[in-house]
Structure 1
Amino acid sequence: MEYMKEKKPCIDGIPLQYVCHLQDMKGKGMVYPAHYHEYIEILFGKEESFEIYLGNSYHRFGPGDMVLIPANEVHLINSLSQQGGAYYVIRFLPRLIYNGLSQSRLELLYLLPFLTDSQGQEKIIKKEVLQKTQIPRLIKEVFREDMEKAYGYELAVRNHIGSIFLWILRYWHKNGAALSSDSPIHTELALQLAPALSYVQEHYDLPLKARNVAKLCGMSSSYFSRSFNRILDMSFTDYVTRIRLAEAEKLLVSSTLSVTEIAMQCGFGSTSYFIRLFQKQKKRTPLQFRREFRTPKPT
C-alpha cells in the first residue's frame, strides 16, 4: 500500500483556496492513512476522541480541542472510540493568508511555523484554553458562510480564517513560542533573512553552506549565523536539516524509493548520516517509519 501526496481539489482546473467539511467516523480505527498536502489544516473536535500522528509523536484530541497541521507535514488520524466521532476540518492554501498581508517579505516569517515542522510551537491547543476565546465561534462562522454561500461569502471565510490565524500567532507569542519579530531590529533582521529561508525551501537537495547563503542576504557569514540564531532560535544547519528531514518523511510514505535514494534526493551526504539524524529527530529509523505508516496502528 502506498500513500501519495493528496491532490488539491479544483474547480475548472483552478485549485480551491480553502476547503472545509465535517469529518464523520463510524466506529474505531484509522480515519485517514498517512498523507500530506499543500494546505495548512485546522481540525476542531466535535464528538468523541481521536489521535493524530504529528510532529514525531501521537497526540489525543477531543471535543473543543484544536489541532494545527503545517503544510506538507505527514500526518494520520485514528478514531479512539467504538462509537466513532466527528471533527471539523478547515484547509487553506498559504496564499490565502499571504495575499491578505502587506506585501513585504516579513510575511514568510509569520507563515514559517505553518509551513515547516516547527517544534517550538504548540500544535494541539486544548478546549480549556479555547472555550472562552473567539475560536469556537470563528470555526462555526467559517462553516456557516461556506454552507449558506451568501453574496461575498468568500471574503467572509477568508476574514474568519485570517482571524483564526492571527489568534494562533498571538497565542504563540504570548506563550513565548513565536518567532522573534516584535521589535524594529528583529523585523529588519527577519526581512534580511527572508531570501535565505526561501532559498533553502527550494534548494534543500543541494549542498548548502551558511557562508554562501549569507551572500544572498548581504551579510557576512558570522553576522548571518548570529542573526539566524537570534530570529529563528536555531542554527542555519539545524534549519536545513529540519527541511530535509521533512522532505524525506514525505518520500518515505509516498514512494518506493530506497533509503539511500531518499537520502541523496534530500541533500544528505551519506545514507548513514541520514539514518542517524532521522532516528534522532523522529525516534525511529526511516524503515521503521515507513513500516509504521504502511500498516494501520494497532488498536
Structure 2
Amino acid sequence: MIENLVGLHETVNYRKDMQIRLHNNDVCENYPPHWHTPFELIMPTESGYSVHCGEKEYVLDEGDIIIICPGVIHELFSPPKGVRIIFLVSLAQIDLQELDLVISMISPAILISPEKFPQIHAQIHRLMLEIRDEYFRNLPYTESSIYAKFLEILVLVGRCYAEIAQHNFEAKNNKQQEYMEKFLFICNYINEHYAEPLSLEEVASLAGFSKYHFTRLFKQYADTTFYKYLNQKRIAHAKHLLVDKNLSVLDISLQCGFSNLSSFLRMFRKLTGFTPTELRKMYDGDF
C-alpha cells in the first residue's frame, strides 16, 4: 500500500487529477513508521486493526474509525485476515479557520467508536461507507461528493467536542455562541502569528478575558492548553522546514517562534519523540 517511501515520508499517489486516494485493503501486511501530508482515515469492515501514533496504540474493532492528522508519524499492524477502508484526503487547497480548531482537538489522532462517541459513530460509519462506494463508482463530481462527506465528518467531530465543552461550562446559549466565535478568532490569530513571541496574557487580553478565565475556556473549547496548541503549531511548521537542508536547526527554531535553541529542542522531542536532527535523517532514510 505504501508506494513511495523515502525515510519516513510517504508521497501519496492520489487518484488522477484529485487530492484523494482510497484502498479497500485486504492485505495482511504491517506498515512501518511513516508520515504524509493528507489526513488518513481507517475503518475495518472485517476483523480489527491496530495503529500506533507516537507512544499511543489505538486498537480498532470492526466498524471503528480512526482519523490521523496530517504530518503525524504512525505505524499500522494488520491481523492475519481482514478488510479495512484506508482513505487519504488532502485539505491543502481548503482554507477554513474552523479546520485548525478541529485538528487541535483530534491531534495526533482520534478513535471514533460506539462506546466513546455514541452520538456520532453511526453517522461517521455511514459516511465512510458512502465515501468508499462513491470512490469506486467513478461518476461525475466524485471528488466534490467525497470532499463534502469528509468535511461532514469533521463537522460532526467538531460539534461533538463543542457540545461537550458547552455542557461542561454550563453557559447560556448566547454566551456559548459568543465564546465559540471568540475562540475561532483566537485560533485563527494564533495560526497567523505563532512564529511571534505570543504570551497567554496577550492573547487573553485580545479575547477580552482575564488570563485565568481564558485558560479555563481555552481548555474546554480546544481540548488542550493555550501553550500546547501554540507549540503544536510551531513544531508542525518546524517539521516542514527540516526538509530544507540549507536551514540549520537554530535557524528553524527562530523561524518558528522559539526564543532559544534549548527550549525548541526540548519541545520538539516532547511532541515528536525525536530530536530535529534525528527526524531530518529519517526523512532521508539515513537513520
TM-score (norm 1): 0.67
2:3 equivalent in structure 1: none
Q: What is the aligned-residue identity percentage? A: 20
**Equivalent pair of 2:7/2:283 in contact (CA under 8 Å):** no
1:223 equivalent in structure 2: 210
**Alignment map for 1:128-277 (pairs within 5 Å):** 133-150=122-139, 156-172=145-161, 183-210=173-200, 213=203, 217=206, 219=207, 223=210, 226-227=213-214, 229-233=216-220, 234-251=224-241, 254-256=243-245, 258-277=248-267
1:34–1:255 distance in 2 versus 1, CA, 3 Å: farther
What do residues 118-148 of structure 1 show as CA deviations (whole Å, max 9, x unaligned)? 55x9701236668982333322222222322
What do residues 266-289 of structure 1 show as CA deviations (whole Å, max 9, x unaligned)? 221122112222334445544555
Larger CA deviation: 125-134 vs 236-245: 125-134
CA distance in 1, matches of 2:198, 2:210: 17
Larger CA deviation: 175-184 vs 137-146: 175-184
SS at match of 1:116: helix
2:110 to 119, 123, 127: 123
What do residues 164-207 of structure 1 show as CA deviations (whole Å, max 9, x unaligned)? 33443454456669997983213213323434322321332232
1:269–1:84 distance in 2 versus 1, CA, 3 Å: farther
2:100 equivalent in structure 1: 112
SS at match of 1:63: coil
2:268 to 265, 274, 278: 278
What do residues 64-109 of structure 1 show as CA deviations (whole Å, max 9, x unaligned)? 2211123x332333334466864331525287795xxxxxxxxx34
CA distance in 1, matches of 2:51, 2:21: 18
TM-score (norm 2): 0.69
The aligned amino acid for 1:88 is I
CA distance in 1, matches of 2:251, 2:47: 41
1:34 equivalent in structure 2: 34
The aligned amino acid for 1:76 is H
Question: Are 1:79 and 2:77 counterparts?
Answer: yes
1:183–1:135 distance in 2 versus 1, CA, 3 Å: same
Q: Alpha carbon RMSD of aligned pairs, Å?
A: 4.4
SS at match of 2:127: helix
Unaligned regions of 5+ residues in structure 1, if any?
A: 99-107
2:56 equivalent in structure 1: 57
SS at match of 1:123: strand
User: How many residue pairs are counted as aligned between the two chains?
Assistant: 275
CA distance in 2, matches of 1:134, 1:195: 29
**Equivalent pair of 1:43/1:68 in contact (CA under 8 Å):** yes
CA distance in 2, matches of 1:148, 1:112: 31
CA distance in 2, matches of 1:26, 1:93: 27
**Equivalent pair of 1:117/1:242 in contact (CA under 8 Å):** no
CA distance in 1, matches of 2:269, 2:153: 34
CA distance in 2, matches of 1:255, 1:5: 17
1:93 equivalent in structure 2: 91
1:101 equivalent in structure 2: none
What do residues 245-292 of structure 1 show as CA deviations (whole Å, max 9, x unaligned)? 23334445x454554343223221122112222334445544555667
CA distance in 2, matches of 1:226, 1:136: 37
1:83–1:146 distance in 2 versus 1, CA, 3 Å: closer
The aligned amino acid for 1:35 is W
1:151–1:283 distance in 2 versus 1, CA, 3 Å: closer
**Equivalent pair of 1:44/1:63 in contact (CA under 8 Å):** yes
**Equivalent pair of 1:40/1:115 in contact (CA under 8 Å):** no
**Equivalent pair of 1:46/1:88 in contact (CA under 8 Å):** no
CA distance in 1, matches of 2:167, 2:267: 25
SS at match of 2:122: coil
How far residue 228 of structure 1 moved from its aligned partner, in angstroms, is: 5.5
